[in-house]
Amino acid sequence: MPDRYLRAEDIVNRVVEAIGFITFHPDPMIETLLQNCLLKEKKELPRDVIHTIISNIQLSPDCGIPLCQDTGSLVVFAELGSALSLEEDLSSTLNEAMAIAQKKFFLRASLLSDPLFARNNTGNNTPVTLHLSQVPGDQLKLLMAQKGGGAENMSRLKMFNPSANDQDIAEFVVETVKRAGAKACPPLVVGLGIGGNFETCALLAKRALFDPLNSPNPAESYARMEQELLEKINSTDIGAQGMGGVSTCLAVKIRTAECHIASLPVAVNLQCHAHRHIEISI
What pLDDT sits at residue 100? 98
Cα(148)–Cα(275) distance, integer angstroms: 9
Strand stretches in 106-248, DSSP E: 129-135, 140-147, 156-160, 188-196
- pLDDT tens for 235-264 read 999 999 999 999 999 999 999 999 999 999
Label residue 92 by pLDDT band (50, 70, 90): very high
How long, in residues, is the chain? 282
- H or E element in which residue 179 lies: helix 166-180
Task: Give me the percent of the chain exceeding a pLDDT of 90.
Answer: 99
**Cα 100 from Cα 274, distance rounded (Å):** 22
Give the pLDDT of residue 128. 98
pLDDT at 34 over 70: yes
pLDDT at 3: 84
How many angstroms separate the CA atoms of 265 and 282, rounded? 34
Cis peptide leading into 216, omega within 30 of 0?
Answer: no
Q: Write down the domain spans for the chain.
A: 4-25+67-147, 149-275
Check whether 2 has a pLDDT greater than 80. no
114-132, pLDDT tens digit by residue?
999 999 999 999 999 999 9
25-53: b or e for each residue (b if 16 or more CB lie within 10 Å)?
bbbebbbebbeebeeebebeebbebbeeb
Neighbours of 137 (CB within 10 A): 16
Please calculate the CA angle 190-192-194 and round it to the nearest 5 degrees: 175
Quick one: which H or E segment has residue 33?
A: helix 30-40
DSSP 241: G
- Answer whether residue 199 shows pLDDT above 80: yes
Residues in CB range of 8: below 8 A, 6 or more apart: 86, 87, 88, 92, 93, 96
